[in-house]
Amino acid sequence: MRLAAAALWLGLAMAPLAPSAGLAQAEAKLTYVPAFTIWDVKFGAPITQIPLSAVALIACGTNGGPPSVPLRDFTEFATCPAEASGLHEVFFTYDDEQDYIAKALEDEYRFAQGGTSIYAHPVVFTVLVDAAGIARGIRIVTDERAGERDRRVAVRLADNLRGRYSPWSPACEDIPATDGQQPVGSIFIHQICTGTSPDGDATMRLEATYFRKKGQTSISRETQQVQKNYFQSATRLEVVQQPFAPDATPVR
């Protein structure tokens, strides 16, 4: 199934409730914008461009997964092992003070404006740094630790990101099922889009997935119980400055 059609189906199936009056009032009165976001990272500038006052946690990344070794500041980037590309992955989260304020107002609003979310999707984001401490790329992956509903619609983040990078003229390819992959119900999505910045300085790779991996079933053969989280639903974006290239290893 094409990603756009599948996203429409998912949108109808998982559509959120209309915003409450309290949420509307909170949005009208307050706007929470992090002091520094992942979109503010400038390629070719030192990783220390990220102000410590704008972050809550710094650690080594795990290829888009949870943080590993904590770092005192961004100057310790070399503590993180270099990937095959030679780049070090540094994880960080936004300062969470605004999240606590929003949570006191209404949880729904906190979800919409959460410091570790992009377009209201919980994510893990990291900066890719070369041996000299220069930022050469960013990586954004939907957070696998999120709840079932957030995970199920994680694939839809790809729509937002494709729109954001439309000036890069991304070319998209639908990848057929391999290695025992199966649809979730009637839906199978595995799409990879690649593009180059208008100035030719950077390249991007966007991967969207929604399927069951080999061995994942909706019903346990042993217990006959429903296995709610037995599916793959994710969006993965990597943008890097040339001559580096995005990790091209597809999700299996």
Q: Residue 56 above 60 pLDDT?
A: yes
Instruction: For residue 59, count CB atoms less than 10 angstroms from its CB and return exposed for 0-12, middle for 13-18, buried for 19 or more.
Output: buried
String of DSSP letters for 5-37: HHHHHHHHHTPPPPPPHHHHHHHHH-----SS-
Tokens of 32: 């929470």
Task: Quickly state the pLDDT bin for 164 (edges 50, 70, 90).
Answer: very high
Position 195, amino acid: G
List pLDDT tens digits, range 114-163. 457 888 899 999 999 999 999 999 999 999 888 888 988 999 999 999 99
Mean pLDDT to the nearest integer, 193-197: 98
* Residues linked to residue 174 through DSSP beta bridges, in sequence order: 191
pLDDT for residue 158: 97
What is residue 16's predicted lDDT score, i.e. its pLDDT?
41
Percentages (nearest 5) of helix, strand, coil residues in the chain = 30, 30, 45
Residue 18 is predicted with a pLDDT of 41
- pLDDT band of residue 36 (cuts 50, 70, 90) is confident
- Domains of the chain: which residue ranges? 3-241
| In the block, residue with structure tokens 């993180």 | 80
- Which residue, chain included where needed, has tokens 């994942």? 216
Sign for the pseudo-dihedral over CA of 108, 113, 114, 116: positive
Percentage of the chain modeled with pLDDT above 90: 55
Residue 97 has a pLDDT of: 59
| pLDDT above 90: residue 242 | yes
11 CB neighbour count, 10 Å cutoff = 13
Band (pLDDT 50/70/90 cuts) for residue 180 is: confident
Average pLDDT over residues 20-34: 47
pLDDT at residue 165 tops 70:
yes
